[in-house]
Amino acid sequence: MRGQTFLNDPFTRAVANCAPPMRPFQTLLIALCAALLVVPAFASGGGGHGGGEKKKIKAPQKERSFTSLKSWVMVDGFTISIIQDGRVRGKFNVSFGMDVKDDALREKAEMLMPRLRDAWLGELNLYAATTLRPKRIADIDGVSNLLQRTADAVLGAPGSKVLMGQATVLMTP
């Protein structure tokens, strides 16, 4: 029997006898793998206790295709299914952008764009399911106000202005 057995029952002795012996090559391989995992973490600044310099995270730069204004924040369009009575009755297309004059708020808006899009999508889905009716036009002022309230709530401060580009309703027969 290898090593010292602390319990004298037959099961513990059987398990201790079944374990293969650790070879020096396996020990070296395990140590090498552990070193390869630890070294890149320390080289990239990880693994520290806050000793490094903190970098400010910036929003990704997007191309500004519609206007040359620096205050313009482009928002990708939304297409929402209009579901009524358990059936898809049509689709609601909305495209808009935001004019944000304040540099800090604009950077925050670009940084929080995934959260803004999620909040807008939820509100537009609710609007399409409860307010849009067959053979009726969409309330553009209401949609614009809805998007503006949502943007102000997510950003935590007023200062952005939602500018509607298009809102179309296509109903299926």
Residues 84 and 146 in one domain: yes
Whole-number Å distance between alpha carbons of 45 and 54: 10
How confident is the model over 125-139, as pLDDT tens digits?
Answer: 999 988 888 778 889
Whether the per-residue pLDDT at 115 is higher than 80: the answer is: yes
How confident is the model over 40-85, as pLDDT tens digits?
Answer: 555 555 555 555 566 666 655 655 456 678 899 989 999 999 888 8
Partners of 96 in beta bridges = 164
How confident is the model over 116-126, as pLDDT tens digits?
Answer: 999 999 999 99
Residue 61 domain flag: no
Question: How far does CA 103 lie from the centroid of its chain?
Answer: 23
Q: Check if the beta carbon of residue 78 is closer than 8 Å to that of residue 121.
A: yes
Residue 45 domain flag: yes
pTM reported for the whole predicted model: 0.62
Q: Which domain holds residue 79?
A: 72-171
Whether the per-residue pLDDT at 39 is higher than 70: the answer is: no
Residue 20 domain flag: yes
Domain termination site, one of 26, 54, 82: 54
- Give me the CATH number covering residue 159: 3.30.479
Phi, psi of 41 (to 5 degrees): -65, -40
pLDDT value, residue 171:
85
Whole-number mean pLDDT of the chain? 79
Residues 36 and 83 in one domain: no
The domain total for the chain is 2
Whole-number Å distance between alpha carbons of 120 and 7: 65
